[in-house]
Structure 1
Amino acid sequence: TQSENILGYYVNVERIPNSCRNSSNRIFLKDRKILLNLSMAYYRVNISTYNKAGESPQATYIIPDFSATDLPGQIHVKHQGTNAVVTWTPEYNPKCFVVDWGTSKEDMHMKIVTTTTGNFTLGNFQPYKLYKIMVHASDLCQCESFTRHEKTFGVTHSYSVEGVPRAGPTNVTVLNITKHSALVKWTEIAPEDCSGFLQGYKVTYTDSLRKKSLGKS
């Protein structure tokens, strides 16, 4: 069969963002599974098969967000215009920190910080956009070492300037209507329309008989 002709698999693991050129980690496998010890940075995984004739096209997978509930450190952000001063208190003094920041997987930036002081200034923050900021610690600071040696210290989210949401909830439906109650449901506002951290929702309804408006937050 075709599977019997397969000699093995190539797995390329590339960090996103990656300021180091040609630093993807290529792994040769016979099995169809692999355990990766990664930080909470974004990673692109390319998988291909090979046989005596050559290599197949690659299948690409972006590792999704991890839960950040049990990280060892906290990150604090103070905005100064379009800049943001990021500070943290290290548990120990690694050889370097790696700072990632951006608004999405496609818009992440990376900076290697070799000073022992836990602070760094990020620039060009745009208003009303949610930024994800991650700080990783590593005892090996060469480009090819981050995939295997960095550990995430902390993750936070921040706006440089907050504004009013650009859109309201959608798909509003009223269910389970009785003489005294009704269940109102809606779809939450999309992240790109929030323009800031949402504090809650305000529901306004009217008693059609008494012509009286009522509200609930």
Structure 2
Amino acid sequence: MTNDITEHMRSAWAGKEPVLLGRGGIHNAAVMIALVKNGEDYDVLFEKRAEDLDRQPGEICFPGGAMEPGETPEEAAVRETMEELLVRREQIRVIAPLNEMVTISGDDIFSFLAVIDDYEGTFSGDEVGEVFRVPLSWLLAQEPLGADVEQTTIPSEDFPYDRIPGGRNYPWRSSHRTIWFYRWEKDGRIYDIWGFTAHMLRAFLKRCHSEIPGANQ
């Protein structure tokens, strides 16, 4: 049996439907968890968003973005990866669908696993400020920091209180969730991977631990 971890991933996951880890909803975004060969091992590729973007500037993410009309989630993930990393389609080897997750705002995000062959560190400066790589073996050995947050419903000023029992005294429920953090340090630089990117990364790593031979070594 091959010792290449991506072959074990393909055997375990290829052909399976994405695992729904949320409420479901409109399928409107897709990302790629991209692996890059590093000797006998693999690195996970991350992007740091450009600082001049209107949305989430400077934050760390995976390649990906909104789906266009008529696209499948996989097609969207591949297209966005090509555009953001300036790679050719033939460089991207999609291994398997991973998870379908739902954000706080109710958006559905699909994730896919792929290997990018012959990647030379290219990226589009229109969207990406920099790229960096983290060894998969290192990530598999980490226990992320978890921080709990409480979310409370705050109605708008024009909320129709007269239409709900109790009016302004309605007992809105609070919800609790955990935000995960991974910290990678290299050459004096610190990269904090957090939020939904860390949530997807943690789900991927947990599946590796539970389903991929040798991932716990």
TM-score by shorter chain over 0.5: no
| TM-score interval, smaller chain | under 0.3
Using structure 2 for the length normalisation, give the TM-score: 0.22
Instruction: Return the structure number with greater strand share.
Output: 1
Q: Which has the higher contact order (CA 8 A, sep 6+)?
A: 2
The structure that has the greater radius of gyration is 1
